[in-house]
Structure 1
């Protein structure tokens, strides 16, 4: 197994483990991106609103899988949530997360 396969395999397992533990999928894309398609039952809070809406995420009282289009914004979201004592991981692109459901 190559290094990239190892890294992406670990991420896949982490997402799957979170899903087994009833994690909430948090989509941090823009409204326009969300309207074009999203994961059913996911929560939508655009990244630029997350700071003002962090209490909504805390109120969910569940682990979070952040997703976006490619994984860049969701990485920022997961880091921000972790800094605010919310258990969160970067799920990467929303289509990748959707494929694990």
Structure 2
């Protein structure tokens, strides 16, 4: 089982300077269309091969995608392995903040 937070809660935490290990699991075109500046990019299609990168950054591990479905699958996968992870419900569709475009 994993925890969840809303996109608004994530936005508030980032504004407050909370150290988060935010990982965006959308695909390249979605990432380039707009992503959260503090996020790292590990697309779901590459996740199995790159899962070892998840803990390369300190902070609570938080996953986001377009709506919360793909990031929820990643959270299911990692929580079954004993990792403490958080899914952003509503994903980028609910993100109230600014986004960065491009790579």
Where structure 1 has 5 or more consecutive residues not aligned to the other structure, the ranges are 1-9
Aligned length: 91
Q: Which residue in 2 is equivalent to 1:99? A: 96
Q: Which residue in 2 is equivalent to 1:6? A: none
- Give the number of the structure whose residues are more often helix, by fraction: 1
Higher relative CO (CA 8 A, sep ≥ 6), structure 1 or 2?
A: 2
Q: What value does the CA root-mean-square deviation take over the aligned residues? A: 2.7
What is the alpha-carbon distance in structure 2 between the residues aligned to residue 42 and residue 82 of structure 1?
20
Counterpart pick for 2:19 among 19, 22, 26: 22
Q: Which residue in 2 is equivalent to 1:54? A: 51
**Larger C-alpha radius of gyration, 1 or 2?**
1
SS at match of 2:35: coil
What is the alpha-carbon distance in structure 2 between the residues aligned to residue 82 and residue 17 of structure 1?
24
Are residue 40 (structure 1) and residue 22 (structure 2) matched?
A: no
Where structure 2 has 5 or more consecutive residues not aligned to the other structure, the ranges are 99-103
Q: TM-score, normalization: structure 1?
A: 0.70
SS at match of 1:99: coil
What is the alpha-carbon distance in structure 2 between the residues aligned to residue 32 and residue 16 of structure 1?
22
